[in-house]
Structure 1
Amino acid sequence: MRLRTPVRIGSRMLGGGNPPLLLPDIDMFFNADIAMAQHMVKAVRDAGLTIIKAAVLHDEAIALNCGTMETFLDNRGRPVTVDYRRLISKKVISKDEHRRLFRFIQDTGLELVLSVYDLEGLNLAVDSGAVAIKIPSSNITHQPLIAAAALAPVPLIVDTGKSTMVEIARALEWAAPARERGLIVEHSPEAPPAPLARHQLMMIPRLAETFDLNAGLSDHHHGNEMMLAATALGAVVLEKGLTVDDPDSDQDVYHAMRLSDLKPLRRQVEMIYDALGDGRRTRPSDRPVPHSRMGAVAARGLSTGEMLSLSNVGFALPPLGVGAEHWPIIEGWQARREVAAGEPVGWEDIEPPS
């Protein structure tokens, strides 16, 4: 994937050949339990990460009380159907509780990326010192919110889950003013976890090329393998929900990573990124020729003036004689002196025919 202009998210530079950002998302997984949220924040810090993602969800009225039902997989992968308004309501906390939580996060030494669902939440996120704003996939059609977020003084991340390319193009057009500060587009496979064939990870480079943006992954796989694959595909952000190791059944918990995943996953991402390299292969001039290559040897004793052919020259390792890659040049040359059978045939032993 072609390198693009890097985007600064807080203290991190993303894209342009920089390592990807592993972005654990506590979102509202703590269900208004601030002590649990603080425990998760400390675990992120202790895992050696520097940026965490959360959300601003302060008003249950964003979900109508109209009897709409939502189905998700519980923590054992079994379908559960609940009232959508109730599901949202139990996650809502007040603006003041958000502010206190965000201050705690920052006092812990972490920088903060925030998902927003309404204009009040956007203002709170900016006022709270978020280093980036995210438009969640549910709001990819929310023109007023995207347009306002695009004018915020920090970079913008747009999640594209459950959307068409037309909807993505339209949302990114609304978000265009954010390109000046940094705009990242995220591929987001469907949740509940989609079958592997529908994860479509090749959308990551496609989104990057189509819209000339740095692209990332919002992961909804049951397991962490997709984030490793996305690292190899050039994703600049690897975002995934985060929950405690033994969570209660709740929305999105089935495909969230556990606190104990953080340290090993961070190391795996770092190893894969380091292994990618820069796509170039050169051999330093001072590096010796590998011993495993072959050089010319006398297949039988060579007489002075004898012409070289595959009947009297063989090849053996290490390459003490003329390298085998030079055979098209030296075939038909003649021996300047006698060379015993099995001995290397060096440049000093041969000459062009007279």
Structure 2
Amino acid sequence: MCQFNIGNREIADDTRTYIVAEMSANHHQDFGRAENIIRAAADAGADAIKLQTSRPDRITIDSDKEPFRIKQGPWQGKTLYELYEETYTPWEWQPKLQQTAHDLGLDLFSSPFDPTAVDFLEEMGVPAYKVASFEIVDLPLIRQIAETGKPTIMSTGMATLGEIDEAVRAFREAGGTELALLACTSSYPAPPDEMHLRRIPHLAETFDVVPGLSDHTLGTEVPVAGVSLGARIIEKHLTLSREDKGPDSDFSLEPDEFADMVRAVRKTEKALGEVRYQTTEKESESERFRRSLFVVQDIDEGEPFSEENVRSIRPGDGMSPKHINNIIGRKASQPIAAGTPLRMGLVR
């Protein structure tokens, strides 16, 4: 897996999973709420906060004609312009939010949705970029992002393997080097049976990138499963409360849930460990309770060992059970009391 760095944080196969709290529209156009989401992300153990840098008239046009109307899903009934007018993060907030994040030890970066957003974020000095799933087909935008030389995370929701390949090629041909691809299902919320997490190792192997997961399912189980399959970046929406309804509320985690997810991810990382087949420190305490050969009846000197007077039992103080066939029929070198662990010195 290629190396990937955001700020002073290395992201690789043997490092901690990089956990991103996606603010999206959960600020509800309230700057104080946006700051509180960043504080909640820091308290929950996130590594970064992600914004979206867009303007409604740069994503779409203000039209209520049929193609611009949302016909299903959580935003049904709105026009695209109305949705993006509600969800955009005011640009004048973003440098201030960046300072708040830095003061709390978090990285802050954003998804730009047009060339002017990339220029703005470059002025801010963001450490990385995120390409949203819907923009993975916008190859000119991807090339512009690649030309900044910044590490870039791409979500792959809705994309075919061919479209992902085109995006990766465009990024690399424009000079981009550090790239992560996130498995993603772009439905809100996403059903677990449509997540297909086995894409995670496939993305890493196919494109030689850092793999990750952008998750829109309800709950925390899917990110944990993603980490077990090799995801090194996890992105999850964070809101202060789902009761305060907004465009992204229904598929966002509340702060205590986000913290639970972080703890579960960290525990999963420890459990994954490494490929090793030797007794661990804690296992050594149990080793003596394995089976071994014991004399289970009193035996006189010269008496043959038999299946009746020698058995494989717990604990593990005697010879390994694998020697039983070499012991049966041989004779005791001395009287042996029942309950004695069998050793070669007792056999002649």
Which residue does the alignment assign to 2:332?
Answer: 335
Structure number with the higher helix fraction is: 2
Q: How many residues align?
A: 344
Deviations 1:239-293 (A, max 9, x none): 0112221454333321111233232222222112112111312126994671321
Contact between 1:294 and 1:318, CA under 8 Å: does it hold in 2?
A: yes
Which amino acid letter does the alignment assign opposite residue 222 of structure 1?
A: L
| Residue 43 (structure 1) aligned to one of 36, 40, 45 | 40
| Residue 149 (structure 2) aligned to one of 150, 153, 166 | 153
Report SS of the residue matched to 1:90.
Answer: helix
Distance in 2 (alpha carbons) for counterparts of 1:23 and 1:58? 23
Which residue does the alignment assign to 1:22?
Answer: 19
Which residue does the alignment assign to 2:70?
Answer: 70
Which residue does the alignment assign to 1:55?
Answer: 52
Distance in 2 (alpha carbons) for counterparts of 1:290 and 1:108? 46
Question: Aligned runs of 1:219-298 on 2, under 5 Å?
Answer: 219-283=215-279, 287=284, 290-298=287-295
Call closer, same or farther: CA 1:330–1:64 in 2, change over 3 Å.
Answer: farther
Distance in 2 (alpha carbons) for counterparts of 1:235 and 1:82? 35
| TM value normalised by structure 1 | 0.87
Deviations 1:35-75 (A, max 9, x none): 2211211222233434211121135231123331225655x
Q: How far did residue 129 of structure 1 move? A: 2.0
Question: Aligned runs of 1:78-227 on 2, under 5 Å?
Answer: 80-176=76-172, 181-227=177-223
Contact between 2:304 and 2:331, CA under 8 Å: does it hold in 1?
A: yes
Which amino acid letter does the alignment assign opposite residue 21 of structure 1?
A: Y
Contact between 2:149 and 2:175, CA under 8 Å: does it hold in 1?
A: no
Report SS of the residue matched to 1:130.
Answer: coil
RMSD: 2.6
Q: How far did residue 327 of structure 1 move? A: 2.7
Name stretches of at least 5 consecutive residues in structure 1 with no aligned partner: none
Q: How far did residue 134 of structure 1 move? A: 0.7
Q: How far did residue 332 of structure 1 move? A: 4.7
Q: How far did residue 139 of structure 1 move? A: 0.5
Which amino acid letter does the alignment assign opposite residue 26 of structure 2?
A: F
Structure number with the higher strand fraction is: 1
Report SS of the residue matched to 2:251.
Answer: coil
Contact between 1:72 and 1:252, CA under 8 Å: does it hold in 2?
A: no
Contact between 2:293 and 2:318, CA under 8 Å: does it hold in 1?
A: yes
Which residue does the alignment assign to 1:9?
Answer: 6
Contact between 2:52 and 2:88, CA under 8 Å: does it hold in 1?
A: no
Distance in 2 (alpha carbons) for counterparts of 1:30 and 1:330? 76
